[in-house]
Amino acid sequence: MYEKSRQLFDIARTCIPGGVNSPVRACGNVDSFPLFIDKAKGSRLWDVDGREYVDFVLSWGPMILGHADDDVERAIMDAVRRGTSYGAPCPVELALAREVVEALPGVDMVRMVNSGTEAAMSALRLARAATGRTMLVKCIGCYHGHADPFLAAAGSGVATLAIPGTPGVPPAVVADTLLVPYNDLAAAEECFDRHGEDIACLIVEPVAANMGLVLPQEGYLEGLRRLTKANGSLLILDEVITGFRVAYGGAQKRFGIDPDLTVLGKIIGGGLPVGAFGGKRRYMEMVAPQGNMYQAGTLSGNPLAMSAGLATLQALKTKDYDALERRTAKFANELGNVLARKGVAVQTPSIASMFGIFFCPELVHNFAQVGLCDQRRFTRFYSGMRERGVYLAPSAFETGMVSFAHSDEDFERALDAAKAVDF
């Protein structure tokens, strides 16, 4: 089984660090090895050995329309025929920017970049420029890319590999990063009481999706908005995952939060590399060349990524988000019931088209509680599902994703697989 994937992984480790180009893909923390993917369409993947999978990773979130959506594919091919990169402005980047501005209540202007990491580090620089302050508040377990200031107590791949920050980040770089638990408003208030005059911004995933799926408790996001405003600090919503997934207008529209700055990625590129940061006009006008806060990128606004993103957002305008949320919630609940009938303590929270799997007796609200979940049981579950043709993220610190392409048959196949997994 998986003979070609094993062979390719052996070769890859001779020329790529760890054999992968992003650490969590290596699957070592789930006692396995990565599958090498040959192709994808709709809700399905096929590996190089010809095995088919129902995909609940969706390239870690971007493929909300499903893989190789016809309209997105057509937009990319049309763009390819006009050239793959200009290093100059093009009409499609303006069109995508206008779609983003119209969709997100907290975004008056937006700057396109090439990754979520680049977007987050640029938003941080802008917040520091706007306030004249240096300190950053982030939530333990939230992941905002791999830029140095954000790697203190990060979630996602850092947590998966149990890396405490990372070698190569000087202590001085994270000295201005203040840490508070997610969903703990009192801790955030105490942090601002101590350091409020020096805090440039607080950055948060409005729905924590890099420590599994952890939902914001009632009043938490509203409390952070009041707290930052009262202290003259900026609130940055990291909507790399939630943007255009929890609602067309993002988490800020769903929860009624008005951020100063917003970080985007994933869906706005339709599966191609992309990122963006945007926000209130008074801050975004500080970005060069209009202002003196410097940020640049040779491939920013790449016509292929812009075309894919524009086609994706235009398609999403016609989609029934509420119906997909109901289907996702039903699946998550049924999955939880299947596992509970096996005598397994499990929680399967969901929101919009995302779901989580925590092997623990009580719903989790922060990263410390996630760490108490049964990771060995997750490893057995992951392996059992993969063997039965269901592709999940190879980490208990990631979130399951559902697309508009997923069918009832896909959900039934996943539930049947879960019934057969031996714990």
Strand order in the sheet with 350-351: 350-351, 354-355, 400-401
Cα(61)–Cα(64) distance, rounded to whole angstroms? 7
Catalytic residue among 2, 53, 69, 143: 143
Q: Which of 266, 374, 391, 410 is catalytic?
A: 266
* Active-site residue, from 47, 176, 184, 238: 238
Structure tokens of 30?
A: 């789930």
Distances (CA, A) of 422 to 15, 80, 168, 336, 379: 36, 47, 41, 15, 12
Q: How far apart are CA 109 and CA 374, in angstroms?
A: 44
Positions of E strands within 125-245: 135-140, 177-181, 199-204, 234-238
Which segments within 253-364 are labelled E, that is strand?
A: 261-265, 275-279, 350-351, 354-355
143 labelled catalytic = yes
Distance CA 91, CA 18 (A): 40
Query: Catalytic site residue 238?
Result: yes
CA geometry: angle at 62 spanning 56 and 68, to 5°? 85
- 41: closest CA among 78, 63, 60, 68? 68
User: Does 53 participate in catalysis according to the annotation?
Assistant: no
User: Residue 407 corresponds to which amino acid?
Assistant: S
Cα 236 to its chain centre, rounded Å, is: 15
Give the position of tokens 């009832």. 408
Helix (H) or strand (E) holding 422: none
Say if residue 4 is exposed, middle or buried (CB neighbours under 10 Å; 0-12, 13-18, 19+). middle
**Amino acid in the structure at residue 325:** E
Helices within 87-142 (DSSP H only): 91-103, 116-131
d(CA 413, CA 74): 30
What residues contact 324, with CB distance under 8 A and at least 6 apart? 352, 353, 402, 404
Catalytic residues: 143, 238, 266
